[in-house]
Amino acid sequence: MQISASMVKELRERTGAGMMECKKALTEAAGDMEAAVEQMRISGLAKADKKSGNTAAEGVVEIKLSDDGKRFAMVEINSQTDFAAKSEDFIGFVNAVTQAVLDDQPASVEDIKIDGRDVEEVRKELVAKIGENIQVRRFEAGTSSGGTLAQYSHSGRIGVVTEVVGGDAALAKDIAMHVAANKPHCVDESGVPAEMLEKEKSILMAEAAESGKPAEIIEKMVEGRVRKYLADITLIGQPFVKDPDQTVEKLLKAAGASVTAFHRLEVGEGIEKKVENFADEVMAQVRGE
């Protein structure tokens, strides 16, 4: 059967695949459009499974707040390259996933549904279309406990949502910006895990012991260093990013406000990136690897 240009065009629009790949599929299916679509879908998903082992450390952090300002969703979705993360298909997928998380508040990534379909199924189809590994890595979602929710995004690479009781929307936004820049571990000392604090104390004690000073002096040295450590890792102890002469705690007190919670995601954080030669990477894309 003669494979017309219009048939190839239709298959390309339905699958997002290349022209030659579409012509080949139609030829093998003897012009049967539905059979060609099904075969390309099977082939594409197989390629998606193969690409799942590729490191995906680029991507975006997307944030959405509900219209009433009471719910939030923040999602990190990774790609292999920044180029893919800027594609229309990737952006559409990111928006769909984030909206689904906002609407449904799922318990885990595996529970996310997009138009009734498992997110993994939709993800694999996107991998087959884009030709890169795409991963929905993690998300934060929740409901305000009565405070003001604010969001801050730094070039789509770092996302922060804060909840502030008291003050105003501008203050909540400033706190979100501070969290993005200074990366505190928790709001205050009560949020520091006991094992984390004990580990730091033991390190500081060992360092101070090397000074050869009396035990009572060492104890005071360690106490001072622990206070500085806690100030460094807690939100309220840090110097405010827009005015380092005052701490966040003093800023909040002046406004009669407090921070209930904050959530921060950064693209690729904790992922070990594979270093590749750029020319080799381009050739790998050309070969369809």
Q: CATH number for the domain including 40?
A: 1.10.8.10
CA neighbor of 103 nearest in space, from 112, 93, 94: 112
Assess if residue 173 is contained within a domain: no
Highest average pLDDT, of 26-30, 46-50, 152-156, comes from 152-156
Q: Are 76 and 112 a contacting pair, CB within 8 Å?
A: no
Bridge-partner residues for 85, per DSSP?
none
- Residue 48 has a pLDDT of 46
> Which pLDDT band holds residue 45 (cuts at 50, 70, 90)?
very low
- Residue 275 has a pLDDT of 53
Highest average pLDDT, of 54-63, 83-92, 125-134, 266-275, comes from 83-92
Assess if residue 179 is contained within a domain: no
For the stretch 174-228, pLDDT in tens is 999 999 999 999 999 999 999 999 999 899 988 888 888 888 888 889 999 999 9
Pairing of β 243-247 and β 258-266: unpaired
Total domain count, the chain: 3
CA 67 to CA 254: how far, in whole Å?
29
CA neighbor of 265 nearest in space, from 157, 122, 136: 157
Same domain, 149 and 63: yes
Assess if residue 258 is contained within a domain: yes
* Residue in this structure with the two tokens 């033991």, named with its chain if needed: 202
Amino acid at the residue 82:
D
Kindly report which listed range (107-121, 132-146, 202-216) carries the lowest average pLDDT score. 202-216
Same domain, 29 and 121: no
Residue 48 has which token pair?
Answer: 């998606």
**If you ran DSSP here, which 8-state letter would residue 256 be given?**
T
Q: Is the pLDDT of residue 163 over 70?
A: yes
Q: Rounded to 5 degrees, what are φ and ψ at 277?
A: -70, 130
User: What is the torsional sign of CA 181, 266, 82, 151?
Assistant: negative
Does 131 or 15 have the greater pLDDT score?
Answer: 131
For the stretch 76-90, pLDDT in tens is 999 998 999 999 999
- Residue 279 has a pLDDT of 56
Same domain, 16 and 72: no
Domain that holds residue 40: 5-51
- Residue 193 has a pLDDT of 94
Instruction: Specify the DSSP element, H or E, that contains 270.
Output: none
Same domain, 142 and 66: yes
Q: Where are the alpha helices (DSSP H) in the chain?
A: 5-15, 19-28, 33-51, 82-85, 88-104, 119-130, 169-182, 194-209, 215-233, 248-255, 278-287
Amino acid at the residue 76:
E
Same domain, 73 and 197: no
- Residue 140 has a pLDDT of 98
CA neighbor of 184 nearest in space, from 261, 253, 269: 261
Assess if residue 241 is contained within a domain: yes
- Residue 177 has a pLDDT of 96
Q: Are 164 and 172 a contacting pair, CB within 8 Å?
A: yes
Q: Is the pLDDT of residue 128 over 90?
A: no
CATH code at position 212: 1.10.286.20
> Which pLDDT band holds residue 11 (cuts at 50, 70, 90)?
confident
Assess if residue 96 is contained within a domain: yes
Same domain, 269 and 150: yes
SS3 106: coil
Assess if residue 206 is contained within a domain: yes
**If you ran DSSP here, which 8-state letter would residue 65 be given?**
E
Does 205 or 74 have the greater pLDDT score?
Answer: 74
Q: Are 101 and 75 a contacting pair, CB within 8 Å?
A: yes
- Residue 46 has a pLDDT of 42
Residue 37 has which token pair?
Answer: 């679509």
Query: C-alpha 48: how far from its chain's center?
Result: 21
- Residue 283 has a pLDDT of 52
CA 280 to CA 278: how far, in whole Å?
5
SS3 110: helix
Q: How large a percentage of the chain has pLDDT more than 90?
A: 62
Assess if residue 176 is contained within a domain: no
Same domain, 24 and 75: no
For the stretch 252-285, pLDDT in tens is 999 999 999 999 999 999 887 655 554 555 555 5
Same domain, 158 and 19: no
Same domain, 94 and 155: yes
Assess if residue 197 is contained within a domain: yes
Same domain, 256 and 279: no
Q: Are 73 and 141 a contacting pair, CB within 8 Å?
A: yes
166 exposed, middle or buried (CB, 10 Å; 0-12, 13-18, 19+)?
middle
- Residue 12 has a pLDDT of 75
